Amino acid sequence: MNCNGFFVTMTIWHLPTDNDRPKYIALADHIATLIQENKLKAGEKLPPQRRLADTLEVTTGTITRAYAEAEKRGIVSSRVGSGTYVSQKEKKYSSYWSSYFPEEGAVDFSNSFAPIGPQESVLHEALQSLSSQPDYLHKLLHYTPERGYPHQREKFSTWLKEENLPSEQENCFFTQSGQHGLFTALQAMTTAGDTVICEALTFPGLKMACDSLSLKCVGLRFDEQGICIEALEAACKQYHPKVIYLMPQSNNPTTAQIPLERRKQIIEVCRRHRIFILEDDVQVLPKKYKLPAMVSLAPEITFHISSFSKRLSGGIRLGFAIVPNAYRTQFQLALRANQWTISSLPVELFTYWCESGCMTTQDKWLETLMDERWTVAKDILKNHEIQYQPGGFNLWIHLPESWSALRVEQVARQHGLILRAGDHYLVGGNAFGYHGIRLCISQPKTTEQMAEGLRQLVTILEQESFAPEQIL
Ligand SMILES: Cc1ncc(COP(=O)(O)O)c(C=O)c1O
Protein residue whose Cα sits closest to atom 14 of ligand 1: 112
Tell me the pLDDT tens digit for each residue of 113-127. Answer: 999 999 999 999 999
- The helix/strand/coil state of 371 is helix
**Distance from Cα 262 to the centre of ligand 1, integer Å:** 24
> Which atom of ligand 1 lies at the shortest distance from residue 180's CA?
11
Which residues approach ligand 1 with their CB closer than 6 A? 112, 177-179, 203, 205, 247, 252, 280, 282-283, 307, 309, 314, 319
Tell me the pLDDT tens digit for each residue of 257-276. Answer: 999 999 999 999 999 999 99
Query: Is the pLDDT assigned to residue 105 strictly greater than 90?
Result: no
Query: Is the pLDDT assigned to residue 419 strictly greater than 80?
Result: yes
**Please, which pLDDT band fits residue 77 given cuts at 50, 70 and 90?**
confident
Distances (CA, A) of 242 to 188, 229, 294: 12, 17, 17
Q: How far is CA 356 from the centre of its chain?
A: 33
For residues 427 and 113, the answer to whether their CB atoms sit within 8 Å is: no
Q: How far apart are CA 392 and CA 252, in angstroms?
A: 10
Mean pLDDT (whole number) for 446-472:
84
User: pTM to 2 decimals?
Assistant: 0.82
Tell me the pLDDT tens digit for each residue of 211-260. Answer: 999 999 999 999 999 999 999 999 999 999 999 999 999 999 999 999 99
- The helix/strand/coil state of 301 is coil
Buried residues in 325-341 as b, exposed as e (16+ CB within 10 A): eebbebbbebbeeeeee
Q: How far apart are CA 456 and CA 462, in angstroms?
A: 10
The continuous run of DSSP H or E covering 323 comes out as none
> Which atom of ligand 1 lies at the shortest distance from residue 319's CA?
10
Protein residue whose Cα sits closest to atom 9 of ligand 1: 309
- What percent of the chain has a predicted confidence (pLDDT) above 90? 75
Least confident span in 11-20, 404-413, 456-465:
11-20
Q: How far apart are CA 300 and CA 277, in angstroms?
A: 10
> Which atom of ligand 1 lies at the shortest distance from residue 203's CA?
1
Tell me the pLDDT tens digit for each residue of 86-98. Answer: 887 654 544 455 4
pLDDT for position 432: 81
**Distance from Cα 383 to the centre of ligand 1, integer Å:** 30
pLDDT for position 101: 57
Q: How far apart are CA 342 and CA 146, in angstroms?
A: 6
* 170: number of Cβ within 10 Å: 10
Q: Which of 251, 282, 394 to mutate to test the pocket of ligand 1 (most atoms within 8 A of CB)?
A: 282
User: Mean pLDDT across the chain, nearest whole number?
Assistant: 90
Tell me the pLDDT tens digit for each residue of 14-37. Answer: 887 766 678 888 888 888 888 877
Query: Is the pLDDT assigned to residue 176 strictly greater than 80?
Result: yes
Could you tell me the domains of the chain?
A: 3-91 (1.10.10.10), 95-117+360-463 (3.90.1150.10), 141-356 (3.40.640.10)
Nearest-10 crossing angle of helices 447-463, 358-380: 30
